[in-house]
Structure 1
Amino acid sequence: MVSEEIKPKKQRDEECIINCLPGELIERIFFKLPVSTLLRCTGVCEQWHKIIRGPQFVTSHLQHAPHYALLFFPQESVSGEPHPADAILIDEAWSLSTYAVPVIGPDDFLCGSFNGLLCLYTKSSTLKIANLATGEFLHLEKPVKNLRGDHFLFYNFGFHPLTKEYKITHLLGDSIEGRPRPHNNNRFSVVQVYTLGDEKWRDIKTPEALSLNCVKNSGAVTIDGTLYWLIEDVVASWQHAVMTFDLCGESFAQIQLPATKPEDFAAGGSRRYWIREMDGKVCVATAQTCPSLPRWLVGKLQIWELENKTEQRWIQKYNIQYSPDYIPGPNLVHGDKIILQRCDGNLYSYELLGENFNTELCKMAKLLDFSPHKPDNMQSYICVKSLVRLDVYKKTAIVRRPKQREGWELKKWEAWEHELSENERMWSDTHRDEHKETARAQRYRMMINNLLPHILDDTIRQEISMNINQISPNFPDQQPRPIRRLNWVAQKQDLQNLNARMKKYNTIMKATDEVTSSIISMMGGAIEDQRASSSNAGISSHNLSEADDDVKTLIPESLP
């Protein structure tokens, strides 16, 4: 370590100034910085490390952190070809992220997001808790090993603002009589709960057997420390009710849906229901399906908001005239716009215009093309990038290291990785060829300029001089290739850019070769004419022979 005596005076003065800044001022500056920059700042000095890694700053930074819409697409097979799980982040300016989220593996499923932490369901015997921004993660043992019929939708991740505890819940299907396991996929009577940092899962019995199909079809959300999902209630006007599970007291309660029955569209089919989060509130969305195409929606999309949980009072938030084809979840709204999917394979944002709750969709903007992923598989969450640490939880007995290979190491993804490598190779080859052809064009121009004095015909010499500058392939600037893995939307765009660049390369080279061939032809013809004239006049053609040889040296290199 360098002693204070031998440090340069300027360095000692700068360090003194930094250390003399008030901690509150440094924190206010740090609040403006992204997590990636803050992580680098922790290595600047001990004071900065202490501030940034301190619990108080982590909590305050979380409150100042900008919000993102996290669009998650699970792994699925399309025409027999596997496509990995992927995620797109949309910031508050509605710009899409470019890079893949490193903590999301190709086979992972997303169960929830809170305070910058993701809960991911894996196909192995573990769940994964990961920090979206820092890349820190840990694997937790699932409550039941080798559970047949288990599903990522039966897991949920939440945070209670009073206890400051993170909890994972699992809806455990009832066992079929006579079989210890597997489970019945239709009903559940136990909610399994794990508090991050505890040693084991705990079983909490439900008031009655509840439907797992409702959870699969309608979803579940955790808001302000309470888990909400829909249950069947055949006597209610909506034939559904809301069941809640408080993460603090670990108790159940039931909330009735609005007494007003949704108005059905005459040509519509059966009605679907979703429980969603909008602006931090519990909402229930409902729309009718198309009779001939049950996955499509028709008529109006009605969205009701739980205004008062204690009084079970609902208000109608939106009554959207033209419903979308699909409704993503668990969040519908990001900022002042609603995110909706269409059957054309695209995701759109709309501004909501209207008075009271009667609303029209306006100012449609295409966000992305989500093909080949299926539209009704997409999930959306509102998330942040945070400094929340996981190392304090890593010593609990439930933390596990995956026993088998996982993620991109699996053989099923070898072809996918090979395709990405091939794309990088083609980019490298294209950049190399562009550099090579640019250097070759420079040599041509120099050689032609050296030969011009041998051309005595002023008209031909001027024409060649005018065409020389066209022997200059104008390739686009070569941007450095990304080191990190791109998300699948950026990969598609990158491949389109590669194909367009290769096409432009061929077009430029064709035009350059045509100009070069034309110049060589003119020079060769001019020299032949001059040789004939010299012979007729009895003049030595030694210099012309040298020029002719120089022209011939261009021909093999320039013409393909």
Structure 2
Amino acid sequence: MSDKEPMWDSLPPGILTHAFLQLPIKSIITCTCVSKKWKSLIQNPSFISTHLHHSSSNSNNHLFLFRLCPNEGTMWDKREREVYTLYSDNNNNNEEEDFNEHTRFDSPFPAQSGSVILRVVGTCNGLVCLARDLLSYDNSYILWNPCVRKFTRTSRPIVSYSTHGGFEETTGFGFDSKTNDYKVVRVVRLLDREDEDGSSLKVEVYSLATDEWRMVTTGLPSRCVVRGREPLAFVNGALHWIAFRRTITNNLQSFVMVFHLGDEVIREIALPEFLNGFDGDQYWVRMSISVYRNSLALFHQQDFSSPCLNIWVMKEYADESSWTKLVTLSDGQCSREYVPRALGFRRSGEVIIEMHDGALISLHFESQKLKVLGITGYGYIFDHSINGNGYTFFDSYVESLVLLDEPNRAVTY
């Protein structure tokens, strides 16, 4: 060791890496200011990947990200910033309050006129994908890592109102382990085309590595209706969402559309048989897909003559015969004005449900026991068409250093 070399810089990279992995993310970020050597090691893509694997495999690190309602009376103020909170799931059924606040994030994105709040598309490896598309055709996207206080905006998509006219879309976000790349996928149905050759459906994929969008042109289904902005599920390397296909009798056949981020091929998974054969009016029965362990769950909201919430799970992934109904909420829990909305699952398998007033509860399927979590979401907003878009967001989350190695592209706030 030279006389001028600090003692901490003389430590071998392997020892430094092991030491950094034991630290919380805020402390790791602080360590980048100690020396150039430490900064170079921490911002190296190899260390960021190692840290992500370590954080993901930590059995004691069970976190969930909530996007919750700002202070009452200010949620529509364009200066109001949204509330994003990480909770740790202690999963102790003997405690009334087993969700503990872990971290609260300051959002760098204030609401703006014309698009009141951003929509959370999804999270993956610490990145949160946000879209400004709820009340406009803006269709701009942000990839945000709140742990390192960095975000990047995607380039403009190919399909827009100015280029293709009116459209309906659904957007998904996930990680392609084959190319080590994060991807945003837009499935767009052009409203001025109703044909049978699939040309009304457009699929485009954004790559974070290249900051470019490109079209997927092969294997697109025909006569297909995407489900809009309902939540999607990213599991087993693929995005899943609800779609419909019109039959020759003008009924709607529902199915799960699957887009694998590795081979970028669209596949289909059938839904329980009773959901098929509805007439056109039943299009407004809301269904969404969620991750259930390493498989899928179906949330089926019916708010007509018999309002209820049905929750199904696919016990074996891609095995259509394994769809099993877990529970139906009706009567006291549901009304024509509002059907409770399922948000996702805890690691115990309990489901998180948002009630009319925004209160979040946890339902244990076997005991049918409801537990009030002491957390409040947006609840009922204006009407079902807006509420169905999912202002309240809930998903599992892993703290990561992703975007830390993008000093030129990512914005620091």
TM-score by length of 2: 0.71
Cα deviation for residue 257 of structure 1 reads 2.1
Matched, 1:174 2:190: yes
Matched, 1:219 2:231: yes
The 5 Å alignment of 1:321-336 reads 325-329=339-343, 331-333=344-346
Cα deviation for residue 211 of structure 1 reads 0.9
Which residue type is aligned with residue 64 of structure 1? H
Which residue type is aligned with residue 59 of structure 1? S
Cα deviation for residue 208 of structure 1 reads 1.0
Cα deviation for residue 315 of structure 1 reads 4.1
Paired position in structure 1 for 2:263: 249
Paired position in structure 2 for 1:86: 82
Cα deviation for residue 234 of structure 1 reads 6.5
Shift in CA distance, 394/372, structure 1 to aligned 2, threshold 3 Å: farther
Max radius of gyration: which structure? 1
Matched, 1:291 2:305: yes
Matched, 1:142 2:142: no
Helix, strand or coil: the match of 2:40?
Answer: helix
> Cα RMSD (Å) of the superposition?
4.0
Paired position in structure 1 for 2:129: 119
Aligned with 2:41 (options 51, 55, 67): 51
Rounded to whole Å, the distance in 2 between the matches of 1:261 and 1:175 is 25
TM-score by length of 1: 0.54
Paired position in structure 2 for 1:303: 312
Q: Which runs of 5+ in 2 are unaligned?
A: 56-60, 90-98, 112-116, 277-283
Aligned with 2:352 (options 323, 339, 347): 339
Paired position in structure 1 for 2:67: 72
Rounded to whole Å, the distance in 2 between the matches of 1:202 and 1:125 is 16
Deviations 1:93-124 (A, max 9, x none): 42236744334442432222111112222365
Rounded to whole Å, the distance in 1 between the matches of 2:103 and 2:404 is 26
Shift in CA distance, 85/28, structure 1 to aligned 2, threshold 3 Å: same
Matched, 1:37 2:42: no
CA contact (8 A) 1:158 1:168 kept: yes
Which residue type is aligned with residue 106 of structure 2? V
Which residue type is aligned with residue 23 of structure 2? L
* Matched positions, count: 356
Matched, 1:102 2:107: yes
Rounded to whole Å, the distance in 2 between the matches of 1:176 and 1:196 is 31
Which residue type is aligned with residue 307 of structure 1? E
Helix, strand or coil: the match of 1:89?
Answer: strand
Cα deviation for residue 334 of structure 1 reads 5.1
Matched, 1:319 2:324: no
CA contact (8 A) 1:272 1:286 kept: yes
Rounded to whole Å, the distance in 2 between the matches of 1:62 and 1:80 is 34
Which residue type is aligned with residue 190 of structure 2? D
Paired position in structure 2 for 1:546: none
Rounded to whole Å, the distance in 2 between the matches of 1:367 and 1:99 is 13
Paired position in structure 2 for 1:155: 171
Shift in CA distance, 56/128, structure 1 to aligned 2, threshold 3 Å: same
Helix, strand or coil: the match of 1:249?
Answer: coil
Shift in CA distance, 334/253, structure 1 to aligned 2, threshold 3 Å: same
Shift in CA distance, 116/282, structure 1 to aligned 2, threshold 3 Å: same
Rounded to whole Å, the distance in 1 between the matches of 2:103 and 2:151 is 22
Matched, 1:379 2:393: yes
CA contact (8 A) 1:119 1:130 kept: yes
Cα deviation for residue 35 of structure 1 reads 1.4
Cα deviation for residue 312 of structure 1 reads 4.0
Shift in CA distance, 389/122, structure 1 to aligned 2, threshold 3 Å: same
Paired position in structure 2 for 1:411: none
CA contact (8 A) 2:44 2:405 kept: no
CA contact (8 A) 1:275 1:283 kept: yes
CA contact (8 A) 1:58 1:388 kept: yes
The 5 Å alignment of 1:454-473 reads none
Deviations 1:366-392 (A, max 9, x none): 223646867653222222221112655
Shift in CA distance, 353/250, structure 1 to aligned 2, threshold 3 Å: closer
Cα deviation for residue 21 of structure 1 reads 5.0
Rounded to whole Å, the distance in 1 between the matches of 2:213 and 2:21 is 36
Rounded to whole Å, the distance in 1 between the matches of 2:211 and 2:75 is 41
Shift in CA distance, 202/78, structure 1 to aligned 2, threshold 3 Å: farther
Shift in CA distance, 321/170, structure 1 to aligned 2, threshold 3 Å: closer
CA contact (8 A) 1:278 1:333 kept: no
The percentage of counterpart residues that share the same residue type is: 21
Q: Which runs of 5+ in 1 are unaligned?
A: 6-11, 179-186, 263-269, 402-483, 485-560
Deviations 1:286-345 (A, max 9, x none): 2543538xxxx43x6332225132x5442427325666742244x333555422111133
Cα deviation for residue 146 of structure 1 reads 4.6
